[in-house]
Amino acid sequence: MNLNRITVFVFLIAAVLFPVFVRDTYVIHMTILIGIYTLGAISVNLLLGYAGQLSLGHAAFFGVGAYASALVCLKLALPMWIGMIVGPLFAGLLGYVVAKLALKLRGAYFVILTISVAEILKLVGLNWVTLTKGPMGLTDIPVAVIPLAAVGTIDFGQKIPYYYLVLAAAILCAALQHRIVQSSLGRSIISIRENEDLAESVGINGYRVLVVIVVISASITGFSGSLYAHYVSFIDPGVFAFFFSVNLVMMVIGGGKGTFSGPIVGAILFTLIPEWLRVCGDARMAVYALIVVFIVIFMPRGILYSVTRPLARA
Partner 1 sequence: MILFLQFVINGLIIGGAYALIGIGLTLIFGIMNVVNFAHGEMYMLGAYFLLTFFSMLGLNFYVSMLFAVAAVMLVGFVCEKSILRPLRGRSIETVMLAMIGLSLFFQNVAMLIWSPIPEAIETPSAMPALIIWGLYFLPQRILIVVIALMLVILTHLLLKKSKMGKALRATFLDPEAAALMGINTDRVYAFTFSLGAGLAGAAGVLLAPIFTVHPYIGNLANLKAFAIVIIGGLGSFAGAVAAGLLLGVTESLGAAYVSSGYQDAVGFVLLIIILVFRPAGLFGKMEQRR
Where along the sequence are the contacts to partner 1 (CB under 8 A)? 54, 56, 101-102, 104-105, 107-109, 111-113, 115-117, 119-120, 123-124, 126-127, 242-243, 246, 249-250, 253, 282-286, 288-290, 292-293, 296-297, 300
Which residues are registered as beta bridge partners of 145? 155
Q: How far apart are CA 35 and CA 228, in angstroms?
A: 10
Least separation in angstroms between residue 120's CB and partner 1 is 5
Our CB check for partner 1 shows the closer of 66 and 115 to be 115
Phi then psi for 31, rounded to 5 degrees?
-65, -35
Least separation in angstroms between residue 72's CB and partner 1 is 25
Least separation in angstroms between residue 249's CB and partner 1 is 7
Our CB check for partner 1 shows the closer of 18 and 242 to be 242
Q: How far apart are CA 314 and CA 240, in angstroms?
A: 45
Least separation in angstroms between residue 295's CB and partner 1 is 8
Least separation in angstroms between residue 314's CB and partner 1 is 27
B/e letters for 113-135, b = 16+ CB within 10 Å, e = fewer, are bbbebbbebbeebeeeeeebeee
Our CB check for partner 1 shows the closer of 172 and 285 to be 285
Q: Which of 254, 264, 263, 265 is nearest to 298 (CA)?
A: 254
Our CB check for partner 1 shows the closer of 175 and 283 to be 283
Our CB check for partner 1 shows the closer of 6 and 101 to be 101
- Helices of type H across the chain: 3-21, 25-44, 58-76, 80-102, 107-127, 129-132, 159-182, 184-194, 196-201, 206-232, 242-255, 262-276, 284-298, 303-313
Least separation in angstroms between residue 129's CB and partner 1 is 9
Least separation in angstroms between residue 141's CB and partner 1 is 24
Q: How far apart are CA 225 and CA 36, in angstroms?
A: 8
Residue 306 DSSP SS3:
helix
Least separation in angstroms between residue 149's CB and partner 1 is 51
Our CB check for partner 1 shows the closer of 56 and 94 to be 56
Our CB check for partner 1 shows the closer of 13 and 129 to be 129
Our CB check for partner 1 shows the closer of 115 and 215 to be 115
Amino acid at 230: H
How long a stretch of residues is the chain? 314
144 touches 263 (CB < 8 A): no
